[in-house]
Amino acid sequence: MAARSMVGTETPSHLKIYRGEEGDDGTDNVDNGTRRSIRDKARERCMRALESGLSGSRAWTQRDSREFRSENLSDRALSLVGIVTHEEQLRAILENESQHIPNIISKIHSLEPQFRAQITEARSRGWISERSASGWIARLEDSATPWWKKDIFIREKFPAYQRNWEKLGEDEEKVALAAIAAVGTNRKDLYDEAKHMLNQAVADDALSKAKIGTWLRRIFESNADPKKIEEFVMGKGTMPLPTLIWQWRKASLEFDKLEARITKEGKPPSFTFMTKKRFLDMHYESRMAYLQEAEYRMKDTQLAAIHPLLLDIRREIDAKDWGSAEYLMIRARALGLSPKDQAKLASMERHMNAQRSEQGGKSHEGTGDPHVELEALLAQVPASVQPLFRAAIDRGESVMRCLKSLWFNRDWCRKHGHLDDQKEEILRQRSERDTQKVLHEGHGKGYENISTRHGKPAVRKYHDGEWAPQVLHYSTDMCDSLVEDITTGKDNYAFKYWTTLVPKGVDFGTHTYVLHSIFPRMMQCVRRIDEAQGKAKAA
């Protein structure tokens, strides 16, 4: 995906000038002292604003405040990312005061009460115990864990805990209902045997605990002949319970082999591997579709050799844009793919249908005027990127899809630990210096960190076989230049794969919302417009 290794720690040779703010002769430099005093006052304003805004928070601790000052405001930290002169450092400090700090305060004011309310709800519904609830709140307030880790956990991992609690709560009800049905029909012994077998499957890591109740109800509340139910439980017939459990165990072992292979060989690019728990939560057919697609991804390490349209389909599936994936699959089938590529396409389709079924996702089906719908959707996009979106929309589906690729890459980098708020801020602060180096020395073959305000010469086009990431820090004034780059790169998979767009002032929560909730509907509208214009031209 876009950035494999984002932030370096190179130390400029001129860092020594900040050592005590002394001149070459060891005497205090009056000008440096005055400038440092100005920066110190700005730092104090930042810290007062931060601590005042978060005075009521127990999730943000004194440790967070100390680390924020040290890692975002200190002369040393700024110098380490190439911000060296007084003017540059003061500008960076003031940007923290006007932008970064208000964003932190706003995010904590939103996430902390939301998390507390969710824990309270889980306790009131009996999903977790009082002790467990207290433990969760203690983790939120733990000063040993920095806020940025709490932030990632609350937004990206905690929702899975909630879903699991709810599933287990529902499953306990299903187990009770199945037991009542079994007792009412004098099949309690058979019920105990089936429950024992399912519990053993859970112990063997072949079945999710949340599925025991579902299976018991499926068996004992069915209208099947009692003799057929007995045969199913006791291992008779074409597909009895013991055979099903054997299949589940076999799938679980295949998952374990996949995990061992990933540990040995590393994760292949662009595929989101799931946890064992999530794997077991899925239906058996979905598990098998996942294993087959994962096998293809493990084999396809040389992305440059794969048909670019298949790679686009994979990305749309990973982004959970089912409508765009279906659209591209239809195009792929019309290309006369090789048997090998046809098999890959079939695997992707099975995997997509399985994931869509598990997540209850549906393609957006617009019926009204797509232009009107696009205007309503654009109103939900941050104002700073609306001109970029409009320009891409005007150029059609392929350009819009390329923009979406660059937008998706930030999401991927965040979820795989390559970027976070702090890393993005460090990269943004050093992007001007990094860009100047590229403008003077030319593009290299390695990672590049670019400010788009310098226009087309600064953005790598990937025409010379480069296979390394670039991060683009976008500001509104360079809309025309960037949309030209996107138009040029729309058919270049290296450009789409390696380029990560980080729009200035667009926080990650908003970025993710646009990716998953706005882009799929926009893409559907753009396809409808393209189709109508194509028919008009044909007529």
- pLDDT tens sequence across 322-370: 999 999 999 999 998 999 999 999 999 999 999 888 776 566 666 789 9
Mean pLDDT of 470-483: 88
Q: If you average pLDDT over residues 243-253, what whole number do you get?
A: 95
**What pLDDT is stored for residue 346 in this prediction?**
96
Residue 249 has pLDDT above 90, yes or no: yes
CA dihedral 261, 267, 270, 275 (to 10 degrees): 70
**Predicted pLDDT of residue 26:** 41
Looking at every residue in the chain, the average pLDDT score rounds to: 84
What pLDDT, on a 0 to 100 scale, did the predictor assign at position 303? Answer: 76
Confidence of residue 12 (pLDDT cuts 50, 70, 90): very low
In sign, the C-alpha dihedral spanning 100, 102, 103, 108 is positive
> How many CB atoms neighbour CB 160 within 10 A?
13
- DSSP letter, residue 22: B
Cα separations in angstroms, 474 against 4, 447, 458: 20, 17, 12
Beta-strand pair 448-451/499-503? unpaired
Distance between CA 214 and CA 206 in Å, rounded?
A: 15
Terminal alpha carbon distance of the chain: 42
Report DSSP state, residue 268: P
Percent of all residues in the chain with a pLDDT value above 90, rounded to a whole number = 45
SS3 content of the chain, % helix, strand, coil (to 5): 70, 5, 25
394 C-beta neighbours (distance < 10 Å), count: 12
Most confident of 204-213, 391-400, 463-472: 391-400
DSSP 28: B
Distance CA 534, CA 539 (A): 9
- Would you state the pLDDT for residue 250? 96
pLDDT exceeds 80 at position 61:
yes
User: What is the rounded distance in angstroms from the CA atom of residue 518 to the CA atom of residue 352?
Assistant: 20
β partners of residue 503: 474
Specify the pLDDT at position 170. 60
166-210, pLDDT tens digit by residue?
766 565 555 554 554 555 554 778 888 888 999 999 999 999 988
The domain limits of the chain are 38-145, 164-248, 271-277+300-359, 370-538
Torsion over CA: 243, 244, 250, 256 (sign):
negative
Q: For the ranges 12-21, 304-313, 480-489, 520-529, which has the lowest average pLDDT?
A: 12-21
233 or 164, which is more confident?
233
How many Å apart are CA 181 and CA 43, to the nearest integer? 68
Smallest Cα–Cα separation from 269: which of 321, 320, 315? 315
Q: Name 396's Cβ contacts closer than 8 Å, sequence gap at least 6.
A: 526, 530
Angle at 517 between CA 513 and CA 520, to 5 degrees: 130
The residues that bridge with 449 in the sheet, in sequence order, are: 471
- What pTM does this model have? 0.66
Of residues 270 and 307, more confidence is placed in 307
pLDDT, tens digit (0-9, with 9 covering 90-100), for 79-126? 876 788 899 899 989 988 998 899 899 989 999 999 999 999 888 877
Residue 53 has pLDDT above 90, yes or no: yes
Q: How many residues does the chain have?
A: 539
Q: Give percent of the chain with pLDDT exceeding 70.
A: 87
Q: Check if the beta carbon of residue 435 is closer than 8 Å to that of residue 473.
A: no
